[in-house]
Structure 1
Amino acid sequence: MSRGLLLRGKSFYREVKRVLKPKGIIAIWCYGLLEIPHASDSLNVALQEFYDQIESCWPPERQLIDTQYQTISFPFSDIPTPNYSMTHDWTVKQLIGYFTTWSATQKYIKIHGEDNLLTLMTEISNKWSLTTQIMTINWPLFLRVGQNVII
Protein backbone atom coordinates (compact mmCIF):
# COMPACT_ATOMS: atom_id res chain seq x y z
CA MET A 1 0.00 0.00 0.00
CA SER A 2 1.35 3.43 -0.86
CA ARG A 3 2.52 5.74 1.93
CA GLY A 4 0.01 8.42 0.85
CA LEU A 5 -2.87 5.98 1.01
CA LEU A 6 -1.71 4.74 4.40
CA LEU A 7 -1.56 8.29 5.77
CA ARG A 8 -5.02 9.09 4.41
CA GLY A 9 -6.27 5.89 6.08
CA LYS A 10 -4.87 6.95 9.43
CA SER A 11 -6.49 10.39 9.09
CA PHE A 12 -9.78 8.76 8.11
CA TYR A 13 -9.78 6.39 11.08
CA ARG A 14 -8.80 9.19 13.47
CA GLU A 15 -11.86 11.15 12.31
CA VAL A 16 -14.13 8.09 12.49
CA LYS A 17 -13.00 7.39 16.06
CA ARG A 18 -13.61 11.06 16.92
CA VAL A 19 -17.23 11.14 15.68
CA LEU A 20 -18.30 7.52 16.26
CA LYS A 21 -20.06 6.85 19.53
CA PRO A 22 -18.61 4.23 21.88
CA LYS A 23 -19.73 0.84 20.56
CA GLY A 24 -20.84 2.57 17.34
CA ILE A 25 -20.64 0.66 14.06
CA ILE A 26 -18.59 1.46 10.96
CA ALA A 27 -19.26 -0.29 7.66
CA ILE A 28 -17.19 0.01 4.50
CA TRP A 29 -18.09 -1.80 1.32
CA CYS A 30 -17.15 -2.32 -2.28
CA TYR A 31 -18.28 -4.48 -5.15
CA GLY A 32 -16.06 -6.94 -6.94
CA LEU A 33 -15.60 -7.97 -10.52
CA LEU A 34 -18.88 -8.92 -12.15
CA GLU A 35 -19.91 -12.49 -12.76
CA ILE A 36 -22.45 -13.90 -15.20
CA PRO A 37 -23.62 -17.08 -13.47
CA HIS A 38 -25.39 -18.67 -16.47
CA ALA A 39 -22.86 -17.67 -19.11
CA SER A 40 -21.07 -20.19 -21.28
CA ASP A 41 -17.49 -21.09 -20.44
CA SER A 42 -16.33 -19.35 -23.63
CA LEU A 43 -18.08 -16.12 -22.60
CA ASN A 44 -16.51 -16.26 -19.15
CA VAL A 45 -13.08 -16.79 -20.73
CA ALA A 46 -13.65 -13.76 -23.00
CA LEU A 47 -14.68 -11.64 -20.00
CA GLN A 48 -11.58 -12.71 -18.08
CA GLU A 49 -9.37 -11.94 -21.09
CA PHE A 50 -10.86 -8.44 -21.25
CA TYR A 51 -10.20 -7.85 -17.55
CA ASP A 52 -6.66 -9.25 -17.81
CA GLN A 53 -5.95 -6.96 -20.77
CA ILE A 54 -6.82 -3.77 -18.86
CA GLU A 55 -5.78 -4.87 -15.36
CA SER A 56 -2.47 -2.98 -15.39
CA CYS A 57 -4.37 0.26 -16.09
CA TRP A 58 -6.26 0.26 -12.77
CA PRO A 59 -4.92 2.64 -10.11
CA PRO A 60 -2.97 0.91 -7.29
CA GLU A 61 -5.93 1.40 -4.92
CA ARG A 62 -7.89 -1.14 -6.98
CA GLN A 63 -5.94 -3.80 -5.07
CA LEU A 64 -7.97 -2.89 -1.97
CA ILE A 65 -11.12 -3.99 -3.78
CA ASP A 66 -9.48 -7.11 -5.21
CA THR A 67 -8.52 -8.10 -1.64
CA GLN A 68 -12.01 -7.21 -0.39
CA TYR A 69 -10.61 -4.64 2.10
CA GLN A 70 -9.07 -7.46 4.10
CA THR A 71 -5.51 -6.13 3.73
CA ILE A 72 -6.16 -2.70 5.25
CA SER A 73 -5.67 -1.89 8.88
CA PHE A 74 -9.01 -1.80 10.62
CA PRO A 75 -8.85 -0.49 14.20
CA PHE A 76 -12.29 -1.77 15.11
CA SER A 77 -13.67 -5.02 16.45
CA ASP A 78 -14.60 -6.99 13.29
CA ILE A 79 -18.23 -8.08 12.94
CA PRO A 80 -18.83 -11.01 10.55
CA THR A 81 -21.30 -10.33 7.74
CA PRO A 82 -23.24 -12.60 5.40
CA ASN A 83 -22.49 -12.68 1.70
CA TYR A 84 -24.32 -10.12 -0.41
CA SER A 85 -24.50 -9.38 -4.10
CA MET A 86 -26.28 -7.03 -6.43
CA THR A 87 -27.72 -8.09 -9.76
CA HIS A 88 -29.02 -6.51 -12.91
CA ASP A 89 -30.34 -7.91 -16.18
CA TRP A 90 -28.42 -6.59 -19.20
CA THR A 91 -27.92 -7.09 -22.90
CA VAL A 92 -24.38 -7.39 -24.24
CA LYS A 93 -24.61 -3.78 -25.45
CA GLN A 94 -25.30 -2.61 -21.89
CA LEU A 95 -22.43 -4.73 -20.54
CA ILE A 96 -19.96 -3.30 -23.04
CA GLY A 97 -21.24 0.20 -22.30
CA TYR A 98 -20.51 -0.45 -18.64
CA PHE A 99 -16.99 -1.65 -19.45
CA THR A 100 -16.29 1.59 -21.31
CA THR A 101 -17.05 3.58 -18.13
CA TRP A 102 -14.19 1.93 -16.25
CA SER A 103 -11.23 4.22 -15.67
CA ALA A 104 -8.90 1.34 -16.55
CA THR A 105 -10.63 0.91 -19.93
CA GLN A 106 -10.27 4.62 -20.69
CA LYS A 107 -6.60 4.60 -19.64
CA TYR A 108 -5.96 1.51 -21.77
CA ILE A 109 -7.47 3.24 -24.81
CA LYS A 110 -5.29 6.32 -24.25
CA ILE A 111 -2.15 4.18 -24.05
CA HIS A 112 -2.85 1.45 -26.62
CA GLY A 113 -5.65 2.78 -28.80
CA GLU A 114 -9.02 1.14 -29.36
CA ASP A 115 -8.20 -1.61 -31.86
CA ASN A 116 -7.13 -4.38 -29.45
CA LEU A 117 -9.92 -3.51 -27.04
CA LEU A 118 -12.50 -3.55 -29.83
CA THR A 119 -11.32 -7.04 -30.77
CA LEU A 120 -11.93 -8.22 -27.19
CA MET A 121 -15.33 -6.53 -27.02
CA THR A 122 -16.29 -8.10 -30.36
CA GLU A 123 -15.28 -11.48 -28.98
CA ILE A 124 -17.50 -10.92 -25.93
CA SER A 125 -20.39 -9.96 -28.24
CA ASN A 126 -19.83 -13.07 -30.37
CA LYS A 127 -19.86 -15.33 -27.29
CA TRP A 128 -23.15 -13.83 -26.07
CA SER A 129 -25.88 -16.13 -27.39
CA LEU A 130 -27.94 -13.39 -29.02
CA THR A 131 -27.11 -9.70 -28.97
CA THR A 132 -30.64 -8.97 -27.76
CA GLN A 133 -30.55 -11.69 -25.12
CA ILE A 134 -30.77 -10.46 -21.55
CA MET A 135 -28.50 -12.11 -18.98
CA THR A 136 -28.26 -11.62 -15.25
CA ILE A 137 -25.07 -9.89 -14.15
CA ASN A 138 -23.92 -10.41 -10.57
CA TRP A 139 -21.54 -8.25 -8.56
CA PRO A 140 -20.36 -9.67 -5.24
CA LEU A 141 -20.49 -7.09 -2.44
CA PHE A 142 -17.76 -7.09 0.18
CA LEU A 143 -18.29 -5.54 3.57
CA ARG A 144 -15.94 -4.75 6.40
CA VAL A 145 -18.00 -3.98 9.49
CA GLY A 146 -16.64 -3.17 12.90
CA GLN A 147 -17.58 -1.82 16.28
CA ASN A 148 -15.83 1.06 17.96
CA VAL A 149 -14.34 -0.49 21.06
CA ILE A 150 -13.17 2.03 23.66
CA ILE A 151 -10.15 0.86 25.63
Structure 2
Amino acid sequence: MATIDRFSGHADLYAQYRIDYPSELYEFLLTRIENRQKAWDCATGNGQVASELARYFEIVEATDISAQQLEQAVRKPNIQYTVCPAEQTVFADHSFDLITVAQALHWFDADAFHREVRRVGKPGALVAEWGYGGVQIDAAVDPIFNHFYEHIVGPYWDENRRHVEDRYARIPFPFSEVEQREFTIYRNWDLERFLNYLRTWSSVQKYIRQHGHDPVLWIADQLKSRWANGERQVRFPVFLRTGRKV
Protein backbone atom coordinates (compact mmCIF):
# COMPACT_ATOMS: atom_id res chain seq x y z
CA MET A 1 0.00 0.00 0.00
CA ALA A 2 1.46 3.36 -1.03
CA THR A 3 2.06 5.97 1.65
CA ILE A 4 -0.61 8.69 1.53
CA ASP A 5 0.21 12.26 2.55
CA ARG A 6 -2.67 14.75 2.24
CA PHE A 7 -1.48 17.44 4.65
CA SER A 8 2.10 18.55 3.96
CA GLY A 9 0.96 21.17 1.45
CA HIS A 10 -1.07 23.07 4.04
CA ALA A 11 0.78 22.25 7.27
CA ASP A 12 0.58 25.89 8.43
CA LEU A 13 -3.22 25.91 8.18
CA TYR A 14 -3.38 22.54 9.90
CA ALA A 15 -1.29 23.79 12.83
CA GLN A 16 -3.46 26.89 13.29
CA TYR A 17 -6.95 25.56 12.79
CA ARG A 18 -7.13 21.82 13.39
CA ILE A 19 -9.11 20.82 16.46
CA ASP A 20 -7.68 19.27 19.61
CA TYR A 21 -9.30 16.63 21.82
CA PRO A 22 -11.29 16.72 25.07
CA SER A 23 -9.59 16.29 28.43
CA GLU A 24 -12.07 13.49 29.24
CA LEU A 25 -10.51 11.33 26.53
CA TYR A 26 -7.02 11.61 28.05
CA GLU A 27 -8.39 11.05 31.54
CA PHE A 28 -10.03 7.85 30.34
CA LEU A 29 -6.73 6.61 28.86
CA LEU A 30 -4.72 7.48 31.95
CA THR A 31 -6.99 5.44 34.20
CA ARG A 32 -5.96 2.39 32.15
CA ILE A 33 -2.20 2.93 32.22
CA GLU A 34 -0.10 1.97 35.21
CA ASN A 35 3.36 2.67 33.79
CA ARG A 36 3.98 6.05 32.18
CA GLN A 37 7.54 5.76 31.04
CA LYS A 38 7.18 5.96 27.26
CA ALA A 39 4.41 6.72 24.74
CA TRP A 40 4.32 6.74 20.95
CA ASP A 41 1.98 9.12 19.17
CA CYS A 42 1.76 7.94 15.57
CA ALA A 43 0.83 10.37 12.76
CA THR A 44 1.28 13.18 15.25
CA GLY A 45 0.77 15.98 12.72
CA ASN A 46 1.52 19.20 14.57
CA GLY A 47 1.96 17.37 17.87
CA GLN A 48 -1.40 18.07 19.50
CA VAL A 49 -1.68 14.67 21.13
CA ALA A 50 2.05 14.35 21.78
CA SER A 51 2.04 17.65 23.64
CA GLU A 52 -0.75 16.46 25.91
CA LEU A 53 0.90 13.08 26.53
CA ALA A 54 4.14 14.85 27.44
CA ARG A 55 2.42 16.11 30.59
CA TYR A 56 2.13 12.55 31.89
CA PHE A 57 4.90 10.44 30.30
CA GLU A 58 8.62 10.62 30.82
CA ILE A 59 9.31 10.27 27.09
CA VAL A 60 7.02 10.75 24.08
CA GLU A 61 8.07 9.59 20.64
CA ALA A 62 6.00 11.30 17.95
CA THR A 63 6.16 10.29 14.29
CA ASP A 64 4.70 11.48 11.02
CA ILE A 65 5.44 11.02 7.32
CA SER A 66 5.32 14.80 6.81
CA ALA A 67 8.43 16.81 7.63
CA GLN A 68 6.39 19.95 6.97
CA GLN A 69 3.90 18.96 9.64
CA LEU A 70 6.63 18.27 12.16
CA GLU A 71 8.18 21.67 11.49
CA GLN A 72 4.97 23.16 12.88
CA ALA A 73 4.83 20.83 15.89
CA VAL A 74 4.71 21.86 19.54
CA ARG A 75 8.16 21.64 21.16
CA LYS A 76 8.68 20.16 24.60
CA PRO A 77 11.89 18.74 26.07
CA ASN A 78 10.50 15.22 26.49
CA ILE A 79 9.05 14.92 22.96
CA GLN A 80 11.18 13.45 20.19
CA TYR A 81 9.85 13.95 16.65
CA THR A 82 10.80 11.56 13.83
CA VAL A 83 9.82 11.46 10.17
CA CYS A 84 8.79 7.88 9.38
CA PRO A 85 5.78 5.86 8.24
CA ALA A 86 3.39 4.32 10.71
CA GLU A 87 4.06 0.83 9.42
CA GLN A 88 7.85 0.77 9.86
CA THR A 89 9.68 2.57 12.64
CA VAL A 90 13.18 2.53 14.11
CA PHE A 91 11.94 1.81 17.64
CA ALA A 92 13.20 -1.16 19.62
CA ASP A 93 10.96 -4.09 20.42
CA HIS A 94 8.77 -3.75 23.53
CA SER A 95 9.36 -0.01 23.97
CA PHE A 96 6.02 1.63 24.74
CA ASP A 97 3.41 1.70 27.49
CA LEU A 98 0.91 3.58 25.31
CA ILE A 99 0.49 3.90 21.54
CA THR A 100 -1.94 6.46 20.13
CA VAL A 101 -3.18 7.44 16.68
CA ALA A 102 -5.72 10.24 16.31
CA GLN A 103 -7.77 10.84 13.14
CA ALA A 104 -5.18 9.09 10.98
CA LEU A 105 -5.61 5.29 11.06
CA HIS A 106 -7.68 5.42 7.86
CA TRP A 107 -4.62 6.64 5.94
CA PHE A 108 -2.50 3.64 6.99
CA ASP A 109 -2.00 0.09 5.91
CA ALA A 110 -3.76 -0.89 9.12
CA ASP A 111 -2.61 -4.52 9.17
CA ALA A 112 1.04 -3.48 8.80
CA PHE A 113 0.63 -0.76 11.43
CA HIS A 114 -0.87 -3.19 13.90
CA ARG A 115 2.01 -5.59 13.33
CA GLU A 116 4.38 -2.74 14.18
CA VAL A 117 2.32 -1.90 17.25
CA ARG A 118 2.61 -5.47 18.47
CA ARG A 119 6.35 -5.35 17.90
CA VAL A 120 7.11 -2.08 19.69
CA GLY A 121 4.48 -2.24 22.45
CA LYS A 122 5.39 -3.63 25.82
CA PRO A 123 3.40 -6.63 27.06
CA GLY A 124 0.08 -5.19 28.19
CA ALA A 125 0.64 -1.89 26.40
CA LEU A 126 -2.50 0.15 25.76
CA VAL A 127 -3.35 0.88 22.13
CA ALA A 128 -5.72 3.82 21.51
CA GLU A 129 -7.17 4.76 18.12
CA TRP A 130 -9.69 7.54 17.69
CA GLY A 131 -11.28 9.90 15.23
CA TYR A 132 -14.11 12.39 14.93
CA GLY A 133 -17.06 12.89 12.64
CA GLY A 134 -18.71 15.88 11.05
CA VAL A 135 -19.36 19.08 12.95
CA GLN A 136 -22.76 19.74 14.51
CA ILE A 137 -23.99 23.27 15.19
CA ASP A 138 -27.76 23.79 14.97
CA ALA A 139 -30.79 23.20 12.78
CA ALA A 140 -30.08 26.29 10.66
CA VAL A 141 -26.43 25.54 9.92
CA ASP A 142 -26.23 21.74 9.86
CA PRO A 143 -28.08 21.20 6.53
CA ILE A 144 -25.75 23.67 4.80
CA PHE A 145 -22.70 21.99 6.29
CA ASN A 146 -23.97 18.55 5.28
CA HIS A 147 -24.57 19.72 1.71
CA PHE A 148 -21.05 21.12 1.55
CA TYR A 149 -19.59 17.92 2.96
CA GLU A 150 -21.52 15.51 0.77
CA HIS A 151 -22.05 17.39 -2.51
CA ILE A 152 -19.60 20.28 -2.88
CA VAL A 153 -16.41 18.55 -1.68
CA GLY A 154 -17.83 15.05 -1.28
CA PRO A 155 -16.40 13.78 -4.59
CA TYR A 156 -12.94 14.97 -3.53
CA TRP A 157 -12.64 12.87 -0.39
CA ASP A 158 -10.36 9.84 -0.64
CA GLU A 159 -12.17 6.55 -0.26
CA ASN A 160 -10.28 6.17 3.03
CA ARG A 161 -12.59 8.79 4.54
CA ARG A 162 -15.40 6.22 4.63
CA HIS A 163 -13.60 4.51 7.51
CA VAL A 164 -14.14 7.62 9.62
CA GLU A 165 -17.82 7.71 8.73
CA ASP A 166 -18.28 4.13 9.96
CA ARG A 167 -16.02 4.70 12.99
CA TYR A 168 -13.35 2.21 11.88
CA ALA A 169 -15.85 -0.65 12.03
CA ARG A 170 -14.31 -2.29 8.94
CA ILE A 171 -10.71 -2.00 10.17
CA PRO A 172 -9.69 -5.03 12.28
CA PHE A 173 -8.42 -4.32 15.79
CA PRO A 174 -6.37 -7.37 16.84
CA PHE A 175 -5.95 -6.64 20.55
CA SER A 176 -7.41 -7.86 23.84
CA GLU A 177 -9.63 -6.14 26.42
CA VAL A 178 -11.20 -3.99 23.71
CA GLU A 179 -13.24 -1.01 24.90
CA GLN A 180 -15.10 1.65 22.94
CA ARG A 181 -16.07 5.11 24.15
CA GLU A 182 -17.62 8.27 22.76
CA PHE A 183 -16.79 11.86 23.65
CA THR A 184 -17.76 15.29 22.36
CA ILE A 185 -15.51 18.21 21.50
CA TYR A 186 -17.12 21.57 22.30
CA ARG A 187 -15.62 24.74 20.87
CA ASN A 188 -16.84 28.32 20.50
CA TRP A 189 -15.82 29.64 17.08
CA ASP A 190 -16.53 32.70 15.02
CA LEU A 191 -17.31 32.19 11.36
CA GLU A 192 -13.76 32.89 10.17
CA ARG A 193 -12.36 30.26 12.52
CA PHE A 194 -14.90 27.73 11.31
CA LEU A 195 -14.17 28.42 7.64
CA ASN A 196 -10.43 28.08 8.16
CA TYR A 197 -11.01 24.75 9.89
CA LEU A 198 -12.79 23.58 6.72
CA ARG A 199 -9.74 24.61 4.70
CA THR A 200 -7.67 22.02 6.58
CA TRP A 201 -9.71 19.23 4.97
CA SER A 202 -7.91 17.12 2.39
CA SER A 203 -11.01 17.26 0.18
CA VAL A 204 -11.01 21.06 0.15
CA GLN A 205 -7.34 21.19 -0.74
CA LYS A 206 -7.87 18.66 -3.52
CA TYR A 207 -10.77 20.73 -4.88
CA ILE A 208 -8.57 23.85 -4.90
CA ARG A 209 -5.78 22.06 -6.74
CA GLN A 210 -8.16 20.80 -9.41
CA HIS A 211 -10.30 23.89 -9.91
CA GLY A 212 -8.12 26.79 -8.86
CA HIS A 213 -10.63 28.36 -6.49
CA ASP A 214 -11.72 27.90 -2.90
CA PRO A 215 -15.01 25.96 -2.35
CA VAL A 216 -15.20 27.29 1.21
CA LEU A 217 -16.33 30.61 -0.28
CA TRP A 218 -19.62 28.90 -1.18
CA ILE A 219 -20.41 27.90 2.38
CA ALA A 220 -19.16 31.28 3.64
CA ASP A 221 -21.86 33.01 1.57
CA GLN A 222 -24.50 30.59 2.82
CA LEU A 223 -23.61 31.04 6.49
CA LYS A 224 -23.10 34.80 6.80
CA SER A 225 -26.68 35.57 7.72
CA ARG A 226 -27.15 32.44 9.84
CA TRP A 227 -23.96 32.73 11.86
CA ALA A 228 -24.43 36.43 12.66
CA ASN A 229 -21.78 38.17 14.74
CA GLY A 230 -19.71 36.59 17.46
CA GLU A 231 -19.13 32.93 18.24
CA ARG A 232 -21.24 29.82 17.92
CA GLN A 233 -20.77 26.54 19.72
CA VAL A 234 -19.56 23.77 17.42
CA ARG A 235 -19.56 20.11 18.43
CA PHE A 236 -17.56 17.19 17.09
CA PRO A 237 -18.47 13.59 18.01
CA VAL A 238 -15.34 11.59 18.91
CA PHE A 239 -15.11 7.80 18.78
CA LEU A 240 -12.38 5.88 20.58
CA ARG A 241 -11.33 2.26 20.72
CA THR A 242 -8.67 0.87 23.03
CA GLY A 243 -7.11 -2.54 23.47
CA ARG A 244 -4.08 -4.22 24.92
CA LYS A 245 -1.16 -6.01 23.38
CA VAL A 246 -1.16 -9.52 24.72
Q: TM-score, normalised by structure 2?
A: 0.52
2:123 is the counterpart of 1:22: yes
Higher RCO (Cα < 8 Å, 6 or more apart): 1
- Aligned letter for 1:16? V
Q: Which has the higher strand share?
A: 2
Which contiguous aligned blocks of 4+ residues in structure 1 show a shift greater than 6 angstroms? none
List gaps (5 residues or longer) in structure 2.
4-106
> Whole-Å Cα distance in 1 between the matches of residues 182 and 134 of structure 2?
15
The one-letter code sitting in structure 2 at the alignment partner of 1:21 is: K
Among 114, 118, 125, the alignment partner of 1:13 is: 114
Percent of pairs with identical residues: 30
Flag the structure with larger Rg.
Answer: 1
Query: Matched residues in 1 for 2:143 and 2:221: separation?
Result: 13
Shift of 1:35: 1.2
| Structure (1/2) with the larger helix percentage | 1
Native 8 Å contact 1:50 1:121 kept in 2: no
Residue 144, structure 1, aligned to residue 245, structure 2 = no
Q: Which residue of 2 aligns with 1:90?
A: 189
The gaps in structure 1 that reach 5 residues or longer are none
Q: How many residues align?
A: 142
Whether the aligned pair in 1 keeps the contact of 2:153 and 2:215 (CA below 8 Å) is: no
SS of residue paired to 2:180:
coil
Structure 1: which amino acid aligns with 2:178? Answer: I
Which amino acid letter does the alignment assign opposite residue 243 of structure 2? G
Check 1:147–1:48 CA distance in 2 against 1; reply closer, same or farther (3 A cut): same
User: Does the C-alpha gap of structure 1 residues 15 and 122 become closer, same or farther in structure 2, counting only changes over 3 Å?
Assistant: same
Cα separation, partners in 2 of 1:119 and 1:21, compared to 1, 3 Å: closer
